[in-house]
Structure 1
Amino acid sequence: MILAAALGYLLGSVPFGVVITRALGLGDLRKIGSGNIGATNVLRTGHKGAALATLLLDSGKGAIAVLLARALGGEGAALVAGAAAFLGHLFPVFLGFRGGKGVATFLGTLIALSWPIGLMACGLWLLTAAVTRISSLSALVAAAGAPVLALGFGARGLALAALFMAALIFLRHRANIARLVAGTEPRIGRKT
């Protein structure tokens, strides 16, 4: 379990958004738009390919952590590694523990832990994004729905892990929630 947590955390700590934007000469992502290291902020650079790569790699690191841990230590290790990868994204050792909001890593982790639940959470994100064009609201709806979905499937361990991650997603979105209430939250694709 300790090894699963350590490896999951280190994998989750890789800041793909920062790496990709630097490699493409787009600047320091932490000084662009919201300053967040995730795909939504990468999209604000105007480079859709970089945003897609960030989304896939950030979600992939959670999924890979889960799959490796499951192969080596079973389902308990998979849950620990997934939560640790998520924490690594939020508090990455490589960026002085100042990371992203964890949505892509959360969804990738969910898909690897239980693909039906993960895909339904992604569906909640996509549906909300299609209707509102607001990434943060989509993330909050998906995060809130995931523990409920897990309970509906009788996956109590996953429901607890999803609840833990969802609570942190809500905490990381405090400023977004305030802007949502004020009606000033930017829409997907807007550069600032």
Structure 2
Amino acid sequence: MSDVIIVLFIGYGIGNFATSYILGKILKKTDIRKHGSGNAGATNALRVFGIKLAAATFVIDALKGVLAVIIGNSILGPLGGLIGGVSAVIGHNWPVVLKFKGGKGIASTIGVVATINYQIALVCVIIGLIIVVKTRYVSLGSIIAISLLPILSVIMIKPFDLNFFVFSLVLTAMAIFRHRSNIRRLINGNELKLGQKAL
């Protein structure tokens, strides 16, 4: 039990590294939370700061997930990797350092899943990118890509891995919850497309 708590705290701590906020403050002297959608994530970094800083944000956020899984796995084995990964995404989405107002966890989730099963991560990323290219809605591509995790875990992992399946359900639930405002805007037809500026 003590090892589980250690992994939870380490994962959450790693997730608390608020990449877009830190890079924005250091390089642009700007608080990303006060611009664009107000979200401290890679998509808003693209909207507010441009492609270079957004790409750096995405990569670092993904690496947070990678690191959390590796550390969790080293402490507690495969289950520790799952716990560490989920904890990192929770830390990214609800960081105590930003008063629990973080990003939406897509890059970190991709990093987590890629470390555990890169084939599933690759399928999700490809499908997500296709949707973004076709529709120009980053949120739609993100939601669908992560929502495929439980389905792909059943199809691609043999024999069935209950731990990974539950883990994928948790990641999907968090992604959908964090995108609930985007879902409402998609339904209402006023979601911003890639390249559009927030008013």
**TM bucket by the smaller chain?**
over 0.9
The alignment's TM-score, normalised by the length of structure 1, stands at 0.96
Q: Runs in 1 of length 4+ with deviation above 2 angstroms? A: none
8 A contact 1:150–1:156 mirrored in 2 = no
Runs of 5+ unmatched residues, structure 2: none
| Alignment partners' CA distance in 1, 2:49 and 2:197 | 7
Q: 3-state DSSP class of the match of 2:183?
A: helix
The alignment's TM-score, normalised by the length of structure 2, stands at 0.93
Partner of 1:187: 193
Tell me how many residue pairs correspond in the alignment: 192
**Code of the aligned partner of 2:184:** A
Partner of 1:134: 137
Alignment of 1:7-156 (within 5 A): 7-152=10-155, 153=157, 154-156=160-162
| Alignment partners' CA distance in 2, 1:24 and 1:189 | 22
Partner of 2:183: 177
Name the Cα RMSD after superposition.
Answer: 1.1
The 1:19/1:46 distance shift into structure 2, 3 A limit, reads closer
The 1:18/1:112 distance shift into structure 2, 3 A limit, reads same
The 1:143/1:33 distance shift into structure 2, 3 A limit, reads same
**Code of the aligned partner of 2:51:** K
| Alignment partners' CA distance in 2, 1:13 and 1:96 | 10
| Structure 1 residue 8: Cα displacement | 0.5
What do residues 130-163 of structure 1 show as CA deviations (whole Å, max 9, x unaligned)?
1111011011101110111011123331121111
Partner of 1:164: 170
| Alignment partners' CA distance in 2, 1:105 and 1:51 | 14
**Code of the aligned partner of 2:80:** A
8 A contact 1:91–1:97 mirrored in 2 = yes
| Structure 1 residue 115: Cα displacement | 0.9
Identity between Structure 1 and Structure 2 (%): 34
8 A contact 1:12–1:85 mirrored in 2 = yes
Q: 3-state DSSP class of the match of 1:97?
A: coil
Q: Which range moved further: 81-90 or 43-52?
A: 43-52
| Alignment partners' CA distance in 2, 1:46 and 1:2 | 37
Runs of 5+ unmatched residues, structure 1: none
| Structure 1 residue 175: Cα displacement | 1.0
